Structure 1
Amino acid sequence: MRNLSLIYYLGSKICITLADIVYVMIITTHIYIATKSATITALFPLLQVITNLIANISAPLMINRFPSYTLLYTLQWLKTVFLLLLMILFPVLSTNIIALLTFIFVISLCSGWSAPLLYGILPRLTPKEKLVKVNSIFSFSTQIVQAVAYSFTSIVVLLIGATSTLMINNILMIFGCIALHFSLRSIHTERIADSPSSKSTVLLEGWKLLFQNPSLRTVTYMDLIETFAGTIWIGAITMAYVTTILHKGEEWWGYINTSYYVGTLIGGLLAWKMSSYIQNNLIRSMSIGSLIFSILTFLYGMTSSGFIALFLCVLMGPCYQIRDISQTTVLQSSVAPSLLSKMYTAHGALLSTASGLSMLIIGIITDMFGVRTIYIIASILILCSACLSFSLLKYHKTEQNDISI
């Protein structure tokens, strides 16, 4: 039954991921075409970051009040309804950016509230000893979906138009909700007991989980560091690297993205093949992955050869995947499955804030010191993250963490 539920959940995740990417690309393209303004277009991702932060901060109040999976299912259908309304009203909304951004805010809020609940499903459907294998399968599948969606959505929009593409988006969301329903049937929903806890106590519960547990605290610090370092892959920085360091045309931006995706796909397969080793050596896998990723990032920033840069991008993929899957598994293994959603709300709020700040800081540093400096700084940050991961070794024998080294 659990295997069937996992298959349904994988189908749901693929449909929802596809729908999210299609939606983002349609809205981004439309806003830019309608306004011819990069600044106004940038309001879309900025609004999503702000909304995710609001959702992650407020989510514990909802999780504490309603059964988790009833809430998740309801939020996904609400998101689908608003996407349907967006499709129906798109001819009107397309001429009114404020009204369009209002719809985006509501849809992003539903997504933000759903995210920590979705993260909590996989550990409930998977035995702890199989988490790495299942995480690698889900990661590999998601990477393929993202590569296909980013490659072909713009072509589909050009061929059939934004409104028709939104219809495909809604069909994907409906299938995703149906598959989600079947995947949740095997999970016993916890009863929500009347709690005398104050709102502040409820809001702080996830933060206490995050920072009182040594493993979670260390992995969170690592995630924060890597979020800042990961900003080097945003479009503006990559474009600056291509033109000023590699001295290539804009098409090389696409080549670099493709190379990195190829590497992550290889990494997903490698992690799946090595799942038993990684499961039994989580901390070492995380540390080695971060260490090699740091070295490759430094070499990537220092090279002026386009082909070497592409090769390094392919090599980065497996290192990133092994490190990321290990870190995800540590997070999933460090608290009881029933508490994962609350933990992920605090985790998501931190990373949303870090992501927004890092985009601003990275842009300023790039303008002041050049793009090569950014890659050197990023490699040092990732090295610091690798060093932090070694500190987890001292917790491996404690019963509260139950993490393999």
Structure 2
Amino acid sequence: MKKSFYYLWGSQTLSNIADLLYTLALTMLILKESGSIIVTTLIPFFVVISRLISGFFAPLMIVRFRLPSLILLSQMSQFLIFILLYAYVTASKENLNIFIILAFVFTLAFLDGWTMPSRNALIPRLVDNNALLKANGIISITDQVVQFGGWALGGIMLMIIGPHYMLAIISLCYGITAFITLFIDDPTEPPRKHLWDLRSYSKEKSELTDSHWKEMKEGWVALWKSARLRSLLFMDATEQFGGAVWAGPFILMFVLEVLNKDEQWWGYINASYFAGAVIGGLILISLVKQIEKKIVLCMLGGTLGYVIVTVLYAVNSNAFLTLCIVLFTGPLTELANICRRTIMQRSVDNSILPKVFSAQYVVLSLIYGLSLLMMSVLADSFGIATVYIIAAAISGLAVIVGWVNRKSFSQTNQSEQNAASVNRSV
């Protein structure tokens, strides 16, 4: 793993912490100002819509900037916008305009829509091919640790110092994140002439005579033409659709209606899931050589295990047994997700990979938003336990598609060989 990978790892970890803390702080501010749960839920809605729009236009940015530079532009802009948000909240005090706050949320999410595809596409450029699975595991574990500890520690910080001081800390986090990102260097690009040399100079990306439409659709075309990528996208999409039932409101409803427990158990279940995800990531890293040899079977096994565990969760009404079941959900989802991401990273040429991830990001964001609405309707109509059975059945489709296409996943294509040779030569 090259030094730039650790800079990427550190900057994205700090960025994720800032994103989580600002969601907590703004949720409290809007809830306190409006007194309405419905208005407060506009925050995740605006985030999903904004990232969806951002994903469509991400290829236009990817073709013009180095991937580290695109992440830098995103995070530097978030830093500046968050300073404005902090100044507005401080100046307005008790007279906050909710629509102005939501406008800030929309802008921040739009900028963040460039970061995730760029990060996932940059990882295989910063590690050797045989270390890619381990690198994805490290990134995934850190994401889960942030989620696992962030909500609890963030909530405590919020109660102690209040949302206004929390926003000041978040601004500092974004500033440090942007500074660390300055040191990330893409080895597939020529050396930078100076620190602020942001433009991409690779041959494929420098041919800016192509139409914007061609640049925007290139990732979509790659997804459609490759049976391997189509299958991976379908598996991601079905799990994303079914995975919406693990959003907070659904878990809370399950706790109240099925387990007959209070809201405290909502926190226990969330903690159990994220603890399982961290444990799963650690197991994956420790067994990376064994998993690498059977990566396709591990991917399918993780997905199938997740389906079985979700069914057990739905039919169980014992609270303590539920915690044990959810604990197993984490390792299985981590195994399936990390294996899928690694296979996708090895299936596309590095020059096209960011656009492929952008297209995937758009699809998954759209599906997640639609799933939240549809699952809410089904929960009201058939009960929350039935919704988890439906979600498991939808995720089961991913296993069927993966099994049918298992041979295409196992084939080592030319782009994977090229990626390996480039990594060895850099």
Q: CA deviation at 1:108?
A: 1.3
For 1:199 and 1:9, the matched residues in 2 are separated by 29
2:385 aligned with 1:372: yes
Once the two structures are superposed, residues 207-242 of structure 1 have per-residue CA deviations (whole angstroms, 9 ceiling, x without a partner) of 011121221110100111011110111111111111
1:123 aligns with 124
For 1:329 and 1:39, the matched residues in 2 are separated by 38
Choose which of 397, 405, 413 in structure 2 pairs with 1:399. 413
2:75 aligns with 76
Provide TM-score, normalisation by structure 2.
0.91
Distance 1:80 1:144, change over 3 A: same
CA contact (8 A) 2:295 2:339 kept: yes
Q: CA deviation at 1:92?
A: 3.9
Choose which of 339, 342, 348 in structure 2 pairs with 1:335. 348
Q: CA deviation at 1:197?
A: 2.0
For 2:28 and 2:187, the matched residues in 1 are separated by 40
2:15 aligns with 16
Choose which of 370, 375, 383 in structure 2 pairs with 1:362. 375
Instruction: Look up the equivalent residue of 1:77 and give its one-letter code.
Output: M
Distance 1:196 1:353, change over 3 A: same
For 1:157 and 1:247, the matched residues in 2 are separated by 29
For 2:255 and 2:353, the matched residues in 1 are separated by 40
CA contact (8 A) 1:131 1:279 kept: no
1:150-299 paired onto structure 2 within 5 Å: 150-184=151-185, 186=187, 188=189, 190-191=200-201, 192-299=205-312
**% identical equivalent positions:** 31
Q: CA deviation at 1:173?
A: 1.4
Q: CA deviation at 1:201?
A: 1.4
CA contact (8 A) 2:300 2:403 kept: yes
Q: CA deviation at 1:400?
A: 4.2
- Structure 1 unmatched runs, 5+: none
2:142 aligns with 141
For 1:321 and 1:115, the matched residues in 2 are separated by 17
CA contact (8 A) 2:158 2:166 kept: yes
RMSD: 1.7
Aligned length: 402
Q: Secondary structure at the match of 2:219?
A: helix
Instruction: Look up the equivalent residue of 2:298 and give its one-letter code.
Output: S
1:27-66 paired onto structure 2 within 5 Å: 27-66=26-65
Q: CA deviation at 1:398?
A: 5.2
Greater shift, 335-344 or 304-313, is seen at 335-344
For 1:170 and 1:242, the matched residues in 2 are separated by 36
CA contact (8 A) 2:346 2:416 kept: yes
Instruction: Look up the equivalent residue of 2:30 and give its one-letter code.
Output: I
CA contact (8 A) 1:55 1:112 kept: yes
For 1:401 and 1:303, the matched residues in 2 are separated by 46
1:3 aligns with 2
Choose which of 313, 329, 332 in structure 2 pairs with 1:316. 329
Q: CA deviation at 1:394?
A: 1.8
Instruction: Look up the equivalent residue of 1:277 and give its one-letter code.
Output: Q
- Structure 2 unmatched runs, 5+: 191-199, 418-426
Q: CA deviation at 1:276?
A: 1.0
Q: Secondary structure at the match of 1:334?
A: coil
Once the two structures are superposed, residues 256-275 of structure 1 have per-residue CA deviations (whole angstroms, 9 ceiling, x without a partner) of 11111111111011111111
CA contact (8 A) 2:70 2:114 kept: no
Provide TM-score, normalisation by structure 1.
0.95
For 1:401 and 1:68, the matched residues in 2 are separated by 19
For 1:65 and 1:268, the matched residues in 2 are separated by 34
Distance 1:197 1:376, change over 3 A: same
CA contact (8 A) 1:283 1:392 kept: no
Instruction: Look up the equivalent residue of 2:51 and give its one-letter code.
Output: N
Once the two structures are superposed, residues 154-199 of structure 1 have per-residue CA deviations (whole angstroms, 9 ceiling, x without a partner) of 2212211212111211221122122222122655254142333222
For 1:90 and 1:341, the matched residues in 2 are separated by 36
Runs of 4+ in 1 over 6 A off after TM superposition: none
